[in-house]
Structure formats: C-alpha cells, structure tokens
Amino acid sequence: MSSKSLGVVDYGSGNLRSVRKALEASGATTVLISDVGQLAAVDAVVVPGVGSFGDCAANLQATGLWEPLREWIEAGRPYLGICLGYQLLFEASEESPGVKGLGILPGTVVRFSSSRLKVPHMGWNTVSGLKGPLFCGLPEETAFYFVHSFYPAPADPLLASSLCDYGGPFAASVSKGSLHATQFHPEKSQAAGLAVLRNFLTTL
C-alpha cells in the first residue's frame, strides 16, 4: 500500500492538511493536485470537502480540473470523495440552484428539512448497513464524524454502501466500481476513519 500515490485535489478550500495526514497515516503517499498535468502521476484521486457546492464547482472549473475529474471517474479510475467530494458526483444541489454537479451519479443533493433537527448535522453518528470494500472488517454499526447541512439522495438507492439516520435515513456513502465516497469525514473519525482509508488503499 505504501507505494501508492494519492492525488488530493486542491480547489482552494477543504481541510487538505488533515486529509493528507490521515491518508499518510494509513500508508499512502500524497500529492496536492492543482493542475491537470499532475493527474498522470497518481494512482487515485481524493476530493475532500469543506465549503459550498457552487464555490467548489466554480473553483474546479477555474483550475481546469472539472472535466479531467469527470473523465478520470468515467474511465473507471480510483476516486474517493469526502463530504463535498461526495456531493459533487451528483447532478445538482439545493445549496446552489442552477449549478450543475459532475453528473456521474443520478440524483440530487438536498437539505435536511425537519424543523426538529439541528442543522448542520455535526458530530458523531452511527452508520449502519455497511457493505462494500470501504468497510471491510468494521462492525455492522460504526460511528463516524459528520459536519454537513446537505446530503445526496441517489436516484438508485442500491448505490448506498451505508446509511445514517438523522431525521430519517440517508446514504452516508456510496460505492460503484472504483468510485467510493462518504458524507462523513474519515479524517475526523479516529480509528474507524483510518480503517476506511486503509481499505480504500487496498482497492488500488
């Protein structure tokens, strides 16, 4: 695993330092990607996320990485999306009306709607129904750390590789071939999060 190079996409936002530290603690070598020419040298791409859907999309387009990212994923090359890096895979988001997502997966990103809920959904929450390579060796119910006000609603519920309940169930992660993405933050989820990152590395 240590020989694998992961490109962490720098779009001018995101908690890049903590994501890189967690990946390196899991056995990866990381490279910050800010230019399309750097993609050829990495084995997988990681898109972390802090900020708004619209700003992230605009920044990726401004750096020339938007279409190359789409092409990377459509070619079946390994991708890990975290938080916004998960949401951007879908067609659109209620957070930024009129802004198109990558459209890799059918569905939209919606806001928690219940007036009883504290939004953003922040802190530890139980994730269940774990399936797929990211969760190998983890208990059927495992707690992860979340910070978000919006979440993807996949058109195909079978894409979900885990579920979390916050005013109702939502897809806490998805997996499809070499594409994996989580709404929770593995880099903030201590041992369980590091296990998810190590499991991602084993898929490469």
Task: Report residue 82 as tokens.
Answer: 């975290």
User: Has 83 been annotated as catalytic?
Assistant: yes
Residue 108: CB partners within 8 Å, gap ≥ 6? 90, 91, 92, 93, 94, 152, 153
Bridge partner list, 152: 109
User: Has 164 been annotated as catalytic?
Assistant: no
Locate tokens 């938080």: which residue? 83
Per-position DSSP letters for 29-45, written without gaps between them: EEEEE-SGGGGGG-SEE
Bridge partner list, 162: 173
Q: Which of 56, 83, 148, 164 is catalytic?
A: 83
Q: Which of 121, 148, 180, 185 is catalytic?
A: 185
**Is 83:115 a contact under the CB 8 Å cutoff?**
no
**Is 191:197 a contact under the CB 8 Å cutoff?**
no
Catalytic residues: 83, 185, 187
